[in-house]
Structure 1
Amino acid sequence: MSQVQIVRSFIEELSKNPRKHPDRIPADKINSSALSTPIGIPKTPFPKKKFEQEEKKVRILAKTVRPPVVSASAEISTQSTVLDLKESLAPQLNTVVPSLRLLYKGKPLVNSKFLTDYFDPDVTDVSLQMFLLQNS
């Protein structure tokens, strides 16, 4: 049986047995005490501390996976993007940003994502794997 046949049979069954739903509830069926019962809103104190975003820094050490082993390091804000990180590492490696690939725990880092998407904000040191692509 095809999907179209299943849908058609379902629609036919609905047309044979229509269900009736009331658009409105009659006033005599509404319990009047339910309408007059006050609903208490809990009072919660407003927090006195201001939540300020501290700019935290993370030290990153990136090493190549394949020989020759090359490493680069950077200290960067956790609010930065992966592209910002690559731009800070590229001059140390004498390469351009598009030829640099970074991995964290075996997963590639996407340029448009923030470092906080990958790392815990409380972490201060992170090690990354790095691939340098050949320029052609």
Structure 2
Amino acid sequence: MTELSFAKQFLTTLDTKPTKIPADHVEDPRNYPAHSAYILPKMPKPLAKKQKLAPGSERSLDITLKSLRNPPLDITLSSQSPSTSILDLKTAITSQTSIPISTLRLLYKKKPVSDSKVLKDIVSEEEHKAEFSVMVLGVRRLSKRVRKRSFHR
């Protein structure tokens, strides 16, 4: 059988079949091929159970504040309440180093954190330690921002 005769025979066979499936066509679900159930993979570690603390007691966090650039800082604040704000951490840095609060920026996991945030919003419940990076904005850089704001008004 040549390719040409095969193609002609195949096309005539297709012409005898209906081209559209009617709107009332229903396939019997019993004729579908059987599929095995899909099982989800196991989690790498089980979910942590919430620890119930005694009434009136709260978990505490050890906070490490490090500066990656000048001035070099390595401050550890132990036993911080989860309701401690980022502004309170900046105040603690200022009291120890005399760097103005307006020039400090705190980063958690390389992302900036606003002053209004609280530690329990940032740090997960099972963590007992948190490390923040401290950025100290230069006076020159800060004055450029102030100039830009006043110039665009």
Q: TM-score, normalised by structure 1?
A: 0.55
**Which residue matches 1:26?**
none
1:63 to 56, 62, 66: 66
Distance 1:119 1:84, change over 3 A: same
- State the one-letter code of the partner of 2:135: F
Secondary structure of 1:60's counterpart equals strand
Aligned pairs (5 A) from 1:5-24: none
1:110 to 102, 114, 130: 114
1:100 to 96, 104, 117: 104
Bigger Rg, which one: 2
- The unaligned stretches of length 5 or more in structure 1 are 1-48
Q: TM-score, normalised by structure 2?
A: 0.50
| In structure 2, distance between residues paired with 1:50 and 1:114 | 20
**Which residue matches 1:73?**
76
- The unaligned stretches of length 5 or more in structure 2 are 1-51, 141-153
Pairwise CA RMSD of aligned residues?
A: 2.4
| In structure 2, distance between residues paired with 1:118 and 1:126 | 9
Contact (CA 8 Å) 1:58, 1:124: kept in 2 or not?
yes
**Which residue matches 1:8?**
none
Aligned residues: 88
Provide, for residues 86-121 of structure 1, a one-character-per-residue CA deviation record: whole Å limited to 9, x for no partner.
112221122121111110111111111111111012
| In structure 1, distance between residues paired with 2:53 and 2:74 | 40
